[in-house]
Structure 1
Amino acid sequence: MAGNQRKRNPNGAGTITQRKDGRFQAAVYVLQPDGTRARKFAYGKTWAECDVKRRELLDKVDQGVPVPTRSAKLSDWLPYWLDNIVKPRRKLSTYDKYEMHVRLYLVPMLGSRRLESLGVADVRRFLVQLEKKTTAATAKESHRVLRTSLTAACRDELITRNVATLVEPPRAKPRELSPWSLDETLDFLAAARSDPLYAAFVLAVAMGLRRGELIGLRWSDIDLDKRVLYVRQQTQRRRGVLYDDDPKGRRRRVVPLPAMCIAPLRWHRMRQATARDHAGEKWEDTGHVFTTRTGRPVEPRNVYRSFTRVAESAGLRVIRLHDARHGCATLLTAAGVAPRVVMEILGHSQISITMDVYTHVVQDTQREAISHMDRLLKRRPGRP
Structure 2
Amino acid sequence: MAQQRKRNPNGAGTITKRKDGRYQAAVYVLQPDGTRARKFAYGKTWAECDVKRRDLLAKVDQGVPVPTRSAKLSEWLPYWLENVVRSRWKLSTFDKYEAHVRLYLVPMIGAKRLESLSVGDVRRFLTRLEKQTTAATAKESHSVLRSALTAASREELVTRNVASLVEPPRVVSRELSPWTLDETLTFLAAARKDPLYAAFVLAVTMGLRRGEIVGLRWGDVDLDNRVLYVRQQTQRRQGRLYEDDPKGRRRRVVPLPAMCVAPLRWHRMRQAAAKKAAGERWQASEYVFTTRNGRPVEPRNVYRSFTRVAKDAGLRVVRLHDARHGCATLLVAAGVAPRVVMEILGHSQISITMDVYTHVVQDTQREAISHMDRLLKRRPGS
Same fold by TM-score greater than 0.5: yes
Per-residue CA shift, 1:234-275, capped at 9, x if unaligned? Answer: 111112211111111111111100000001111111111111
Secondary structure, counterpart of 1:317 in structure 2? coil
Are the equivalent residues in 2 in contact too, given 1:42–1:54 (CA < 8 A)?
Answer: no
Partner of 1:380: none
Cα distance change, pair 4–306 in 1 and its aligned pair in 2 (3 A): closer
Are the equivalent residues in 2 in contact too, given 1:210–1:325 (CA < 8 A)?
Answer: yes
Are the equivalent residues in 2 in contact too, given 1:42–1:50 (CA < 8 A)?
Answer: no
Are the equivalent residues in 1 in contact too, given 2:338–2:357 (CA < 8 A)?
Answer: no
Higher mean alpha-carbon deviation, 53-62 vs 172-181, is at: 53-62
Counterpart-to-counterpart distance in 1, 2:25 and 2:303 = 64
Per-residue CA shift, 1:142-200, capped at 9, x if unaligned? Answer: 00000111111111121121111100000111112110000110111111111111111
Higher mean alpha-carbon deviation, 169-178 vs 93-102, is at: 169-178
Are the equivalent residues in 2 in contact too, given 1:30–1:57 (CA < 8 A)?
Answer: no
Are the equivalent residues in 2 in contact too, given 1:28–1:58 (CA < 8 A)?
Answer: no
Counterpart-to-counterpart distance in 2, 1:362 and 1:79 = 46
Are the equivalent residues in 2 in contact too, given 1:30–1:66 (CA < 8 A)?
Answer: yes
Partner of 2:57: 61
Partner of 1:177: 176
Counterpart-to-counterpart distance in 2, 1:21 and 1:209 = 67
Higher mean alpha-carbon deviation, 148-157 vs 6-15, is at: 6-15
Partner of 2:260: 261
Are the equivalent residues in 2 in contact too, given 1:275–1:293 (CA < 8 A)?
Answer: yes
Cα distance change, pair 59–42 in 1 and its aligned pair in 2 (3 A): closer
Amino acid across the alignment from 1:115: L
Q: Please list every run of 5 or more consecutive structure 1 residues that lacks an aligned counterpart in the other structure.
A: 371-384
Deviation of the 1:316 alpha carbon: 0.8
1:158 aligns with 2:157: yes
Are the equivalent residues in 2 in contact too, given 1:204–1:324 (CA < 8 A)?
Answer: yes
Are the equivalent residues in 1 in contact too, given 2:146–2:161 (CA < 8 A)?
Answer: yes
Cα distance change, pair 277–39 in 1 and its aligned pair in 2 (3 A): same
Cα distance change, pair 12–186 in 1 and its aligned pair in 2 (3 A): same
For 1:2-13, what aligned pairs fall within 5 Å after superposition? 3-4=2-3, 6-13=5-12
Deviation of the 1:34 alpha carbon: 4.8
Partner of 1:338: 337
Secondary structure, counterpart of 1:214 in structure 2? helix
Per-residue CA shift, 1:85-106, capped at 9, x if unaligned? Answer: 1101111111000000000001
Deviation of the 1:339 alpha carbon: 0.6
For 1:1-384, what aligned pairs fall within 5 Å after superposition? 3-4=2-3, 6-18=5-17, 24-43=23-42, 49=45, 52-63=48-59, 64=62, 66-364=65-363
Counterpart-to-counterpart distance in 1, 2:312 and 2:27 = 73
Cα distance change, pair 25–339 in 1 and its aligned pair in 2 (3 A): same
Counterpart-to-counterpart distance in 2, 1:332 and 1:270 = 30
Amino acid across the alignment from 1:192: A
Counterpart-to-counterpart distance in 2, 1:53 and 1:262 = 69
Amino acid across the alignment from 2:52: E
Cα distance change, pair 274–34 in 1 and its aligned pair in 2 (3 A): same
Q: Please list every run of 5 or more consecutive structure 2 residues that lacks an aligned counterpart in the other structure.
A: 370-382
Secondary structure, counterpart of 1:85 in structure 2? helix
Partner of 2:374: none
TM-score relative to the length of structure 1: 0.90
Secondary structure, counterpart of 1:321 in structure 2? coil
Are the equivalent residues in 2 in contact too, given 1:216–1:233 (CA < 8 A)?
Answer: yes
Counterpart-to-counterpart distance in 1, 2:234 and 2:265 = 22
Cα distance change, pair 69–196 in 1 and its aligned pair in 2 (3 A): same
Cα distance change, pair 195–70 in 1 and its aligned pair in 2 (3 A): same
Counterpart-to-counterpart distance in 2, 1:256 and 1:135 = 40
Are the equivalent residues in 2 in contact too, given 1:230–1:255 (CA < 8 A)?
Answer: yes
Say how many residue pairs are matched.
367
Are the equivalent residues in 2 in contact too, given 1:23–1:43 (CA < 8 A)?
Answer: yes
Counterpart-to-counterpart distance in 1, 2:351 and 2:53 = 44
Amino acid across the alignment from 1:62: A
Cα distance change, pair 178–27 in 1 and its aligned pair in 2 (3 A): same
Over aligned residue pairs, what C-alpha RMSD do you find?
Answer: 2.2
Amino acid across the alignment from 2:139: K
Secondary structure, counterpart of 1:302 in structure 2? helix
Cα distance change, pair 291–8 in 1 and its aligned pair in 2 (3 A): closer
Per-residue CA shift, 1:305-339, capped at 9, x if unaligned? Answer: 11111111211111111111110001111111111
Partner of 1:378: none
Cα distance change, pair 239–136 in 1 and its aligned pair in 2 (3 A): same
Deviation of the 1:120 alpha carbon: 0.6
Per-residue CA shift, 1:15-66, capped at 9, x if unaligned? Answer: 3445566765432223434554321123456xxx255224312233125454
Are the equivalent residues in 2 in contact too, given 1:253–1:347 (CA < 8 A)?
Answer: yes
Are the equivalent residues in 2 in contact too, given 1:14–1:54 (CA < 8 A)?
Answer: no
